[in-house]
Chains A and B, each alone.
Chain A
Amino acid sequence: MNALTGVLRYLGNYAISSVWRLGYGARLFLLTLLYSGESFKRFQLVLKELYSIGVLSLVIIMVSGLFVGFVLGLQGYNTLEKYGSEQALGILVALSLVRELGPVVTALLFAGRAGTAITAEIGLMKATEQLSAMEMMAVEPVARVVAPRFWAGVISMPLLAALFSTMGVFGGYIVGVVLIGVDEGSFWSQMQSSVDFHEDILNGVIKSFVFAVAVTAIALLEGYDSKPTAEGVSRATTRTVVTSSLMVLFLDFILTSLMFTS
């Protein structure tokens, strides 16, 4: 009997705190949008975050894209070769990158590289009372700290995903055409004839835009809501990676089923 009430109490507690967090997150998100005008007026703030969120993620994204392209080239060739249709390698590499791997892997890497940095930075600013100090100086932290980072993330991710896919296509080209010797002409022409601008590329960009909003918002919320202690910040950082990765994969499923089933 005691164990049962214990479980129920735990469940109730969990439900209440989840709903509370959801509301808190929604409120922060709305405030962020509300104060976005201010950060666009002072674009230097966004620019600074674009540097630390976008530029500093460039290397990991581009190198990963290249290697994913290599692997796609190899695996795709090995499979397609069995059916004698290795000319379709270009299609396989390009479609898997543009539709899925580009947006998804970029979002996952972004969560690990930039999302954790955002959470840890804001968490530490909170722990060292920098956010409090800002409030006391009559500067709204959401406007000065949160909103610029949000927009930097939202701008960065689709660009990073495009670079990832581009590097991936080059990777597939290097392995497939240069190393293995698939015909260069059919590699490109088959790719072009079956990759559609609206259907594939635009949808890929929309995907990475949605992922960008999700990952950046989660990273910001976790940082802003973290307990102002060393342990609290470390937990928040971990939660950023876990929650945003799950969210990206879940959203990917939803978006894919909306976009690619007619």
Chain B
Amino acid sequence: MIERTKMDLWVGVFVAAGFAGLLFLSMKVGNMSGFSVTNGYTLHAYFDNVGGLKVRAPVKSAGVVVGRVSEIKFDNERYEADVVMKIDGRFKFPKDTSASILTSGLLGEQYIGLDAGGDDQMLKNGDKFQITQSAVVLEKLISQFMYNKASESDSNKK
């Protein structure tokens, strides 16, 4: 039978270690410490093709996360994808900023990249991007490349 004070100490160590583990998981493994949009504004962007973009994908400008994709839906009038994103209120972007769907690495996850323009007016809540560039679909890229190669060799023969 273990002494009571010693037992209390061990239980204390156990509970403290357990909470330390939870904290580690939340802070170091998860992204609770990382970016989260609390008081931001929403922007819309229309794309021909969103590729593999997912909800909660990061929105980056100059490589820094400034927001997250909150919703992706199909617009039945424009026949385009309507991507709703929540941008942190600290960041403002000019009206003529362009949004493009990019891929981190060759096979990495897809995110939205914003390239700031030079307009005086800033984008407000509910605005939409004027210039967008859709996701690069790998199959299209490859077939385009093959087609170019083929036509190149054709012209070389002549």
Contact = CB atoms under 8 A, between A and B. Distances in A.
A85 interface: yes
A194 interface: yes
B14 A169 contact: no
Given A47-B7, A85-B107, A159-B22, A54 B29 contact: no
Contacts of A204: 25
Interface string A176-210: 00000000000010011111110011001100000
Contacts, number: 91
A84 B106 CA distance: 10
Interface stretch (B30-38, B93-101, B115-123, B147-155): B30-38
Interface string A30-68: 000000000000000001101100110010000000000
B31 A196 contact: yes
Contacts of B107: 83-85
Interface in A156-173: 156, 158-160, 162-163, 165-166, 169
A94 interface: yes
Contacts of A83: 107
A201 B26 CA distance: 7
Interface in B42-58: 56, 58
B25 to A, nearest CB: 5
Interface residues of A, number: 35
A212 interface: no
A214 interface: no
A215 interface: no
Question: How would you classify the secondary structure of chain A's contact residues: helix, strand, loop or mixed?
Answer: helix
Looking at A51, A54, A85, A165, the one whose CB has the most chain B CB atoms below 10 A away is: A51
B14 A50 contact: yes
B2 interface: yes
A191 B32 CA distance: 12
Interface of A: 47-48, 50-51, 54-55, 58, 83-85, 87, 94, 98, 155-156, 158-160, 162-163, 165-166, 169, 188, 191-197, 200-201, 204-205
Interface of B: 2, 7-8, 10-11, 13-15, 17-22, 24-26, 28-32, 34, 56, 58, 105-109
30 contacts: A47-B8, A47-B11, A48-B7, A50-B11, A51-B2, A54-B11, A55-B14, A58-B17, A85-B107, A155-B15, A156-B14, A159-B15, A159-B18, A160-B18, A162-B18, A162-B21, A165-B25, A165-B29, A166-B20, A166-B24, A169-B25, A169-B29, A192-B28, A192-B34, A195-B29, A195-B31, A197-B30, A197-B32, A201-B26, A201-B30
